[in-house]
Amino acid sequence: MPKILIVDDDDAMRDLLRLRMAEEYEVIDTGDPEQAIGLALEHKPDAILLDLMMPKFSGFELCQSLRSLSYTSLTPIFVITGEAGDKYKEHCQNLGATGYFEKPVDFKAVKERLATALQAKRPERRAHVRVRMRLSLKLRGTDASGRHFEEITTTDNVSADGFLCDCMSLLLKDGIVEVIMTGETDRFVGRAKVVRKESSGTPWQRYGFQLQEKTLDWPLQG
């Protein structure tokens, strides 16, 4: 049975979510957002249902923190909130949320979207074991405005099929970049697709890349 983590400081809402999801999922829940990261690492949920407006630690901050951790970086996060408006939805998407649902909750839509995400993500998650490995990379391609860019960056979050890194250039989701590993000599190591953008509150953005093709020079093979 797939496992989900529910994070909501509203006891009644948390009880309702647990009741409606318990037939199809093993449910872990908490009303304390500060406890959520520990529960995520301990129980390794297949998905997370997250409220936005909580005391001490907002859903925005929690979503960003979960995306920055190697194990939870690929876990689907579904925001379920009473906050309406496109600005909240867009911000959550930029933070890496998989879905956004407003209260009162359409549970049929949530379950359908959750099932689709789990079916798509589960094989990818098993394949992407990330390790801390510092690499200096050169990215080359076309930015969001259609201009050619070439940029030196570093990553310390690497898997056999991808990596996370900061980038000054604004890139579009699903955009393709050439990846060159720099050092004493530059080595072309593959082409990668932008699969995720994380808002960092800085002039640059942090992107998740998935390798579409790679050479034997990529340090992790699998």
Residues facing residue 167 across a β-bridge: 205
Q: What's the pLDDT at 124?
A: 46
Helical (H) or strand (E) element with 111: helix 107-127
Q: Is the overall model pTM greater than 0.75, yes or no?
A: no
* 33-43 helix and 59-68 helix, angle to the nearest 10 degrees: 30
Q: How far apart are CA 82 and CA 67, in angstroms?
A: 22
Q: In 3D, which of 174, 46, 65 has the Cα closest to residue 114?
A: 46
Q: What is the DSSP letter of 207?
A: E
Positive or negative, the CA dihedral 102, 105, 107, 108 is negative
3-state helix, strand, coil in the chain (%, to 5): 30, 35, 35
- Give me the architecture of the 3-127 domain, per CATH: 3-Layer(aba) Sandwich (3.40)
CATH topology (fold) of 135-214? Thrombin, subunit H (2.40.10)
Residue 28 is predicted with a pLDDT of 95
pLDDT at 130: 66
* Domain ranges (residues) in the chain: 3-127, 135-214
Single out the residue of 7, 24, 126 nearest to residue 75, CA to CA.
Answer: 126
Would you state the torsion angle of the CA atoms of residues 135, 138, 142, 143, taken in this order, to the nearest 10 degrees? 60
**Tokens matching residue 81:** 């909130």
Q: What is the pLDDT of residue 126?
A: 44
- pLDDT at residue 89, rounded to an integer: 80
Q: Which residues of the chain fall below pLDDT 50?
A: 123-126
DSSP string, 30-84: ES-HHHHHHHHHHH--SEEEE-S--SSS-HHHHHHHHHHSTTTTTS-EEEEES--
Q: Of 107, 87, 112, 117, which Cα lies nearest the Cα of 199?
A: 87
